[in-house]
Structure 1
Amino acid sequence: MPNIVLFSGSSHHDLSQRVADRLGLELGKVVTKKFSNQETSVEIGESVRGEDVYIIQSGCGEINDNLMELLIMINACKIASSSRVTAVIPCFPYARQDKKDKKGSVERWSRAPISAKLVANMLSVAGADHIITMDLHASQIQLNPSTRGKRFFLLLASLVKLLHLFCFALELPKLPFSVKAYGLFPLYLLAFRVTSIADRLNVEFALIHKERKKANEVDRMVLVGDVKDRVAILVDDMADTCGTICHAADKLMSAGATKVYAILTHGIFSGPALSRINNASFEAVVVTNTIPQEEKMKHCPKIQFIDISMILAEAIRRTHNGESVSYLFSHVPL
């Protein structure tokens, strides 16, 4: 592919290299470092004039530092006369801070920021022309702005549906179970996504409705559906401290499920997450590598990961060649 340059940020170099290998490209030369006062410095080591630039940086690890690094890299390429800059962000940072919380007695009194919108605006101001991300936590982040900077940008390739198709279809032999005869028991917020999966696989599904009093703490959980003598497969977009999915697993087992598996997009696994998974009734927890998982897998043998580099590589290839990206919503790249 001519006139294309692929750069990797510091957050997930392994995924960037996998994408580059699938595209038959070498990662562009870039040096990132910090000054003594912890300011981020970026040096682009090759010409990007007139080039179609793609920068891969996931929202994980030292999130604030990695986000700032991404913004600087975008701006550096933009002022170096690149024709287009696309930020490839497998796990979008601050995606959970997408609305005002009811911190006051009346919602409109809340002084909580909408941080996901702020990040979107920062990416636009830095010079990003396109954004490729995966399985956004909130659908409103995809709104098409009528005026630039006043609403969330349009995400050209939100791969929500493709991700689930990838987990069930492309990597089916690698999963520790067969999904064809099992029921799907998703968390409540993903109901509209899992109904599509259930239809494709011709299986039944149930719902788990959760209520929170505060972040990372589930107050109440209600199961809607019959799981007795069935194998349950929990589907969710993100797992952080894993209190929700572990509580859900216990709920399913107490309701008569024979086994419980989990399929997650973004495995953050912070705080007590790994110990909770080890002590929970999961047979396996399958995640993608939008976030590095190697170290976590060493401490939690139940965690398995599925590579999504082929999805990102095909999205980059199609975006660069001007081909339809919506093709990916119903077709699995090989």
Structure 2
Amino acid sequence: MRDSNLKIISGNSNRPLAEAICQFIGVPLTDTEVTTFPDGESFVKINENIRGRDVFLVQSSCPPVNDNLIELLIMIDAARRASASRITAVIPFYGYARQDRKDQPRVPITAKLVANLLTSAGADRVLTVDLHAGQIQGFFDIPVDHLLAFPVLYDHIVKKELRNLVVMSPDVGGVKMADAYAREFKCGLGFVAKKRHSATQVEATSIVGDVKGCDVLLIDDMTETAGTICAAARLIKSHGARRILAAVTHANLQDMGYERLKEGPIEELVVTDTIPVDPKGLPIKVLSVAPLLGEAILRISNNESVTSLFRVKGF
């Protein structure tokens, strides 16, 4: 056991990831009951002494989003009332992140509301991966460690030996993220302009960048219906791209997403396990962020810097 002061507690959203983090660190998962009453209420009981301990609660706010969020808030409250010395909410996927601004009249800023709830429940800090919008860090009045999945994705992508690589964002909003990848790969950059007709229907309208005869890597932070990346991939293919791969940090794939990936021109979709993913026989490669989060947890517990975790090998 590497650190007897460190306690890791898992909710029900992504227990395999929590177990993988514990295996990396070398500590057992803390014995905890996280159950549901017949009426739907969540119940949490920590069966070990955590008084004075450094507690890390692992919970993604993936579907069922509201249940998992409430579960996390109750876990935080349970740890606070059990006299934990510090409580870190480890949220590999931060839900409600797309509701980060008022872009219509009379709508909420739910990403801020969730930040307020986490803080009010008793979280002392937050550890997360690839926020949909970086400014969400400013919604918190407690420290936020915002990790990037790029070092995890890079090792797999570089083995593909892509030729004449061009990194593309499937929409204008993701250009900054795609640019970071392009700079590390030292390759060309482009993006696809789109029109959104509904929550599930997207039309790719035009492309900025030369992809003829090139291998293209589509970069996005999250996908559910795969509408954006598949529409972008079809347009890129029609402009003469040789191969198309996609890398997405959070793959909250629904049935429609699997169907689109099955019919689309994407050769491989590379994702992480911030959300549980079932490839369902499709060319979906799932990479684990457990070592990334595990190393971050160790450094936070030891009051060390996490800056070097943003770098890829060889850079």
| TM-score when normalising by structure 1 | 0.88
What SS is found at the alignment partner of 1:290? coil
Task: List gaps (5 residues or longer) in structure 1.
Answer: 103-109, 144-150
In the alignment, which residue of structure 2 is the partner of 1:317?
A: 298
What SS is found at the alignment partner of 1:297? coil
**1:97–1:90 distance in 2 versus 1, CA, 3 Å:** same
Mapped pair 1:124 → 2:119: yes
Q: CA deviation at 1:214?
A: 4.2
Q: CA deviation at 1:184?
A: 1.2
User: Which amino acid is the alignment partner of residue 159 of structure 1?
Assistant: L
4+ residue stretches of structure 1 with deviation over 4 A?
Answer: none
| Kept in 2: contact 1:135–1:265 (CA 8 A) | yes
Q: CA deviation at 1:297?
A: 0.9
CA distance in structure 2 between the aligned counterparts of 1:323 and 1:180, rounded to whole angstroms: 39
| Kept in 1: contact 2:274–2:289 (CA 8 A) | yes
Task: List gaps (5 residues or longer) in structure 2.
Answer: none
2:237 to 253, 278, 286: 253
Q: CA deviation at 1:93?
A: 1.2
CA distance in structure 2 between the aligned counterparts of 1:69 and 1:135, rounded to whole angstroms: 22
**1:274–1:42 distance in 2 versus 1, CA, 3 Å:** same
**1:233–1:331 distance in 2 versus 1, CA, 3 Å:** closer
Q: CA deviation at 1:326?
A: 1.7
**1:238–1:155 distance in 2 versus 1, CA, 3 Å:** farther
Residue-by-residue CA offset, 1:310-332 (whole Å, 9 max, x unaligned):
10001100000000012212255
The percent of aligned pairs where both chains have the same amino acid is 38
Q: CA deviation at 1:68?
A: 0.7
More displaced 10-residue stretch of structure 1: 57-66 or 78-87: 57-66
In the alignment, which residue of structure 2 is the partner of 1:304?
A: 285
In the alignment, which residue of structure 2 is the partner of 1:183?
A: 166
Q: CA deviation at 1:172?
A: 4.5
What SS is found at the alignment partner of 2:189? coil
| Kept in 1: contact 2:163–2:215 (CA 8 A) | no
Number of aligned residue pairs: give it. Answer: 311
Q: CA deviation at 1:221?
A: 3.1
2:80 to 72, 78, 81: 78
User: Which amino acid is the alignment partner of residue 152 of structure 1?
Assistant: F
| Kept in 1: contact 2:250–2:275 (CA 8 A) | yes
User: Which amino acid is the alignment partner of residue 184 of structure 1?
Assistant: V
CA distance in structure 2 between the aligned counterparts of 1:258 and 1:66, rounded to whole angstroms: 41
In the alignment, which residue of structure 2 is the partner of 1:97?
A: 99
In the alignment, which residue of structure 2 is the partner of 1:2?
A: 4
**1:213–1:275 distance in 2 versus 1, CA, 3 Å:** closer
Mapped pair 1:203 → 2:191: no
| Kept in 1: contact 2:165–2:217 (CA 8 A) | yes
In the alignment, which residue of structure 1 is the partner of 2:15?
A: 13
Q: CA deviation at 1:194?
A: 2.2
2:151 to 165, 170, 183: 165
CA distance in structure 1 between the aligned counterparts of 2:163 and 2:118, rounded to whole angstroms: 41
CA distance in structure 2 between the aligned counterparts of 1:33 and 1:307, rounded to whole angstroms: 26
Residue-by-residue CA offset, 1:56-112 (whole Å, 9 max, x unaligned):
00111311111111100101000111100001000001111111232xxxxxxx111
CA distance in structure 2 between the aligned counterparts of 1:121 and 1:172, rounded to whole angstroms: 37
Residue-by-residue CA offset, 1:111-158 (whole Å, 9 max, x unaligned):
111111111110001100010000000122011xxxxxxx43455211
Residue-by-residue CA offset, 1:219-259 (whole Å, 9 max, x unaligned):
55321011111111100000111111110010001111111
**1:219–1:254 distance in 2 versus 1, CA, 3 Å:** closer
2:199 to 215, 235, 249: 215
In the alignment, which residue of structure 2 is the partner of 1:107?
A: none
**1:186–1:155 distance in 2 versus 1, CA, 3 Å:** farther
In the alignment, which residue of structure 2 is the partner of 1:106?
A: none
In the alignment, which residue of structure 1 is the partner of 2:108?
A: 113
Q: CA deviation at 1:27?
A: 0.2
Residue-by-residue CA offset, 1:271-303 (whole Å, 9 max, x unaligned):
41101100001111111111111xx312x4221
**1:326–1:297 distance in 2 versus 1, CA, 3 Å:** same
**1:205–1:317 distance in 2 versus 1, CA, 3 Å:** same
User: Which amino acid is the alignment partner of residue 128 of structure 1?
Assistant: A
2:133 to 133, 138, 144: 138
**1:255–1:331 distance in 2 versus 1, CA, 3 Å:** closer
RMSD of aligned C-alpha atoms?
1.8
